[in-house]
Amino acid sequence: MNKLYAKTIASIIAISCLGLLALGSDDPDSKNHSSETQSTSTQPEKTYKLNEQVPVGKFIYNVSLIKVTKSIGDQRADGYFVIFGIVFYNNDKETRTVDGSLFTLYSEDGKEYDASTEANMALEMNGGKTIFLKQCGPGIMKSGAIVFEIPKKGNYKLKLSGGFFDASKAFVEIPIN
């Protein structure tokens, strides 16, 4: 039963991601503001540290490092699983959704890591609370975990996005020892 549940969730995630990619490519605003994008890309991006409040787009985030481990339940990492605690506050006038796709982990040499679907499902199956498709009403604070898989320990940066279809972003320095 757990394998069927995990496969169903994985299918839903895959379909959702494909739908978001298709919607994002037809955004008319992305074509009309190329000069605006160029001018903002030359500005240095603010980098924060763990446990600091990070305002990004419609959210205010606070990121903490919970655990670095080789396994979550029966799910084994080929490298390491890094579990982050994310507290987020919706600073908008309407309900917003937070999901793992709003976060990307970068290594010192620029390699990009997306949240691990399998590890996040394993965390949920073992009683953990993830941020998978969390809805957050205006003025509400919520929290959950997100899991990434990395090949080795070192210095990383976690990119936080301002929301779906929001280009704002910030980075949090993550020393993983």
Q: 134: domain CATH number?
A: 2.60.40.1240
Residue 15 lies in a domain: no
Whole-number pLDDT of residue 44: 54
Q: Enumerate residues 6+ apart whose C-beta is below 8 A from 17.
A: 101
Is residue 35 over pLDDT 90? no
- Read off the pLDDT of residues 153-168 as tens digits, 9 standing for 90 and up: 999 999 999 878 888 8
Number of domains in the chain: 1
User: What percent of the residues of the chain are helix, what percent strand, and what percent coil, each to the nearest 5?
Assistant: 30, 45, 30
Tens of pLDDT, residue by residue over 74-96, are 999 999 999 999 999 999 999 99
Domain that holds residue 129: 47-176
